[in-house]
Homo-oligomer: A and B are copies of this chain.
């Protein structure tokens, strides 16, 4: 289907917005009235620029407070409209969005509104302009799509149809299934926006908190399915008002936006062809639309590795922690200063030649790459690239295996590795037995693998990163949590495989402040699962690495609110072990000290089906890290 985006969804001048939409690959744009009015470009120049960029100008919007007015006002409104029609002719735009009257003075009379919209359509027709009438959720008389369709049906003019906007419909909890009753050819335009569920004034919600499909809480696949079932064949167009997008690089926003439409179309296409589906809408015959189909979603089997980049001093600290946790330095890369550290099937690569070292950050240790084990690495990489993930240059040495990799929005490299690879196989061949001096042998600890990786995100790109990891790795997002850290609120969202084979935790500072966000890129952690957190803490201590010290007051509080025995609590206090509980599930976890202000490790033990991340303890962990840092 044709893909569009409203210029109001992007930051910058009209010219910058058009260039960003074209660069991302959109087919067209909705021109926002104020963007044109503010632009130094005459309308014909705007048209020429769009043409040269291969962009259609699909809609002019909005035209407000037109219908349901007294007769004198109608004449003024028609004059106002004619001026816009003339402008649209110059621009070469053929559809005008008219939103339902939101003024207090609107007259509650459908017949009047219909007659006035008929006049408007009649006036528009000679200009080659069609009117798409949209019910605003806060319209003073017409505020739902069924009502706007009744008025349009009554007005009965070939140049008049409805515009449907997912936000206005879903924010009010209206049932979108009724859209199927609207003739497809009378749906002149479709605007898509998602939004997180928020109990707030719908106008403010709409103006500040819209987001791209898949980034919020609405079911846009079902919604759009209804619109297609009605026979709509026009563009899928994103109209998203959001404080962050208004202030962000429009090229980045446009790419994020197009990714969201690809995911949506892919989901729609799979639904059509799913069990019982025959590619046709349930209501029977409908015009054929071509939906983008992506390669099949990946189903990661887990982490093949996590790569940490660190310069020598930092690398030494990482090695000390790994050794104390029972990892062994088992291999070295054949051509690069990359060490493989292994514990059972768990691999951590330590790279002291990452080209980013010394450039984007100070050389402090950082988790720079995730190796994801998948059944079909080629397919996964292909899907990622279709989702606008920038492919990374493959490792060059011809003797080396050619792992596909893409860059995540936060700069993390995501490698796709063949699932089930064992030593002797594929990319592991790039590593040989280590130089003797690098070898370390830690004591045995009951680690079970990488439980999750925590990545700090720039606040502005939190939703973008969430959609990226979700769509590229086939993960399900949990609800956002907000945690009060000593330096401000931290937003946290877990992304997991339904079978928990892969977990990623994204964190961001709500206002971009605080020491967690200080280091370039923000704090990161690698959480290792285990069967006995006390044994691992004990072994790590014996290996010379102390755990992060947690306040004694935490354990006094734990005594007041749990039934943990004094002996257990005392052992927890000794090792800085934190505790959480949910239903019958329990969670014990501890942290290593922060390595160089950015990277730290966590060791977790899940009991009784506990499925969280100990979020309630995050403020205490952060307070402890802050205390550690100020020592």
With contacts A486-B13, A627-B13 known, is A619 near B38, CB below 8 A? yes
CB-nearest residue of chain B to A488: B247
With contacts A39-B553, A553-B42 known, is A243 near B488, CB below 8 A? yes
The docked-state distance in angstroms from the alpha carbon of A335 to that of B411 is: 57
The docked-state distance in angstroms from the alpha carbon of A553 to that of B623 is: 54
Instruction: Judge whether A510 is part of the interface by a CB distance below 8 angstroms.
Output: yes
Instruction: Judge whether A511 is part of the interface by a CB distance below 8 angstroms.
Output: yes
Instruction: Judge whether A479 is part of the interface by a CB distance below 8 angstroms.
Output: no
Instruction: Judge whether A246 is part of the interface by a CB distance below 8 angstroms.
Output: yes
**Cβ proximity bits A52-91 to B, threshold 8 Å, 1 near / 0 not:** 0000000000000000000000000001101110010000
Instruction: Judge whether A481 is part of the interface by a CB distance below 8 angstroms.
Output: no
- Choose among B37, B199, B243, B557 the residue that contacts A510 (Cβ–Cβ < 8 A): B243
The docked-state distance in angstroms from the alpha carbon of A484 to that of B11 is: 10
- Choose among B87, B487, B620 the residue that contacts A37 (Cβ–Cβ < 8 A): B620
Among residues 378 to 397 in chain A, which have CB atoms less than 8 Å away from a CB atom of chain B? none
Interface contact A560-B40, CB-CB below 8 Å: no
- Choose among B198, B247, B554, B560 the residue that contacts A200 (Cβ–Cβ < 8 A): B198
- Choose among B40, B83, B559, B620 the residue that contacts A38 (Cβ–Cβ < 8 A): B620
Instruction: Judge whether A423 is part of the interface by a CB distance below 8 angstroms.
Output: no
With contacts A34-B619, A200-B198 known, is A12 near B487, CB below 8 A? yes
Interface contact A514-B247, CB-CB below 8 Å: yes
Instruction: Judge whether A551 is part of the interface by a CB distance below 8 angstroms.
Output: yes
**Cβ proximity bits A172-200 to B, threshold 8 Å, 1 near / 0 not:** 00000000000000000000000000111
CB-nearest residue of chain B to A245: B488
The docked-state distance in angstroms from the alpha carbon of A400 to that of B556 is: 64
**Taking the nearest CB of chain B, how far is it from the CB of A124, in angstroms?**
14
The docked-state distance in angstroms from the alpha carbon of A248 to that of B12 is: 29
With contacts A13-B623, A201-B200 known, is A488 near B246, CB below 8 A? yes
Interface contact A552-B42, CB-CB below 8 Å: yes
- Chain B residues contacting A513 (CB-CB under 8 Å) are 247
Interface contact B511-A244, CB-CB below 8 Å: yes
**Taking the nearest CB of chain B, how far is it from the CB of A202, in angstroms?**
9
The docked-state distance in angstroms from the alpha carbon of A246 to that of B514 is: 10
Instruction: Judge whether A359 is part of the interface by a CB distance below 8 angstroms.
Output: no
Interface contact A560-B83, CB-CB below 8 Å: yes
- Chain B residues contacting A198 (CB-CB under 8 Å) are 200-201, 204
The docked-state distance in angstroms from the alpha carbon of A9 to that of B557 is: 22
Q: Which of A33, A624, A627 has the most CB of B within 10 A?
A: A627
Instruction: Judge whether A267 is part of the interface by a CB distance below 8 angstroms.
Output: no
Instruction: Judge whether A357 is part of the interface by a CB distance below 8 angstroms.
Output: no
The docked-state distance in angstroms from the alpha carbon of A560 to that of B199 is: 38
**Cβ proximity bits A14-52 to B, threshold 8 Å, 1 near / 0 not:** 000000000000000000011011111011000000000
Interface contact B83-A247, CB-CB below 8 Å: no
**Given pairs A13-B627, A37-B620, A39-B623, 12 additional interface contacts (CB within 8 A):** A37-B556, A38-B486, A38-B620, A38-B624, A40-B549, A40-B551, A40-B552, A80-B561, A87-B556, A198-B200, A199-B201, A207-B482
9 nearest A-B residue pairs (beta carbon): A247-B488, A83-B560, A200-B200, A199-B201, A38-B623, A247-B513, A246-B488, A37-B557, A80-B560
Q: Can you offer 10 A-B residue contacts whose CB atoms are under 8 A? A: A13-B486, A13-B626, A37-B551, A37-B556, A37-B557, A40-B624, A87-B556, A198-B204, A207-B482, A247-B487
